[in-house]
Amino acid sequence: MGSLGAMLRYPDDIYPLLKMKRAIEKAEKQIPPEPHWGFCYSMLHKVSRSFSLVIQQLNTELRNAVCVFYLVLRALDTVEDDTSIPTDEKVPILIAFHRHIYDTDWHYSCGTKEYKILMDQFHHVSAAFLELEKGYQEAIEEITRRMGAGMAKFICQEVETVDDYDEYCHYVAGLVGLGLSKLFLAAGSEVLTPDWEAISNSMGLFLQKTNIIRDYLEDINEIPKSRMFWPREIWGKYADKLEDLKYEENTNKSVQCLNEMVINALMHIEDCLKYMVSLRDPSIFRFCAIPQIMAIGTLALCYNNEQVFRGVVKLRRGLTAKVIDRTKTMADVYGAFYDFSCMLKTKVDKNDPNASKTLNRLEAVQKLCRDAGVLQNRKSYVNDKGQPNSVFIIMVVILLAIVFAYLRAN
């Protein structure tokens, strides 16, 4: 659950937090009894609790395929991210990874903590993969092959231009969007629109660019070697070296660079909204929409925020719970994108060199949301100014006492 201070400040977070806590407990109790499937779902909870919640929206057959797809790509990503692996050893593994998923004897020890467990016991993932329908297997193999080749390319090449940045993000995330669309098609749940590849790619790029922006400090401080994904074409305007952005004496230039990175990510919003509008299955819609709302919310927090260069910036847990609880229709998506773009707009500094460009971008997003004609029905995500209130505090304390007594009894 969220911290007590946050719950007192935002009392309407409490009910969604309780629902999310129960959903997590329910998901953990529904782990399949078969060893390989049990490993897959247990590992999913460990490497991404939020994703393990979102995936519960899907029916069993599609959920199994998406779970395996996620773990295969997470394993591939673990190889790419491990900076201790020599390049001449890493590149062949990345290129051949799509063949290893058919081999229940294959494993490769790398990564740390839960990721090392995933790699050491990858045979469980392969066993689960081999039980999927042929259509799912073919989609997962194809995307893994293309992603591994793309990752190998950028092991030997730095991200210099914005085009390089888009290409790298395509390989590591845009292809995930394409792969999920193929899985939805294989399940018979969705149809592909003529522009499905472009808008599926944008869905992945929007999420990946948000992560790259948010994770600047973690990536630049990686040992033994920094991971650098911000394109030189952008950061080179503000610093001599990418690592210089983390130093306090460079805060003004660092924040300006950060803001330009956020603008770049916002360019994908129209495609993302178009993709979500095209979805027919309500469970797939929620599965796709929740992470997109989390991304626009995270960008709104990161924009003009020097804390990106000092520590971790992320949505409070109560707001995450609200997004998961409230996101049911496209009206909810339009409302969330409108609210977070409004929040971002209030943070634009007129002295920022890209202020005008940022405002134009945000106004385009807001117009798109307004033109949908559903904003009057939305529940605001960001206008709930957290204000401590003595009556609320008393009610919260009583409620928490009841909840803890109930949990202890059960």
Catalytic residues: 168, 214, 227, 287
Question: For residue 176, what are the CA distances in angstroms to 57, 118, 133?
Answer: 18, 19, 19
Type and span of the H or E element at 23: helix 14-29
Q: Cβ neighbours of residue 30 under 8 Å, at least 6 residues apart?
A: 41
Phi and psi dihedrals of 354, rounded to 5?
A: -110, 20
Cα 361 to the center of its chain, rounded Å: 22
Closest CA relative to residue 208, chosen from 150, 145, 286, 139:
150
124: tokens are: 């469980």
As a 3-state breakdown, the chain gives helix, strand, coil percent values, each rounded to 5, of: 75, 0, 25
Cβ proximity of 391 and 344 under 8 Å: no
Phi and psi dihedrals of 375, rounded to 5?
A: -65, -25
236: tokens are: 């080179």
CA–CA separation, 88 and 177 (whole Å) = 29
Question: Where are the strands (E) in 15-109, listed by range?
Answer: none
Closest CA relative to residue 72, chosen from 126, 146, 142:
126
Cβ proximity of 314 and 250 under 8 Å: no
Three-class secondary structure of residue 30 per DSSP = coil
Question: For residue 54, what are the CA distances in angstroms to 3, 41, 99, 323, 337?
Answer: 22, 13, 28, 11, 19
Cβ proximity of 334 and 374 under 8 Å: yes
CA–CA separation, 372 and 242 (whole Å) = 40
DSSP 393-410: HHHHHHHHHHHHHHHHH-
Three-class secondary structure of residue 239 per DSSP = coil
Residue 144's identity, in one-letter code, is T
Cβ proximity of 232 and 161 under 8 Å: yes
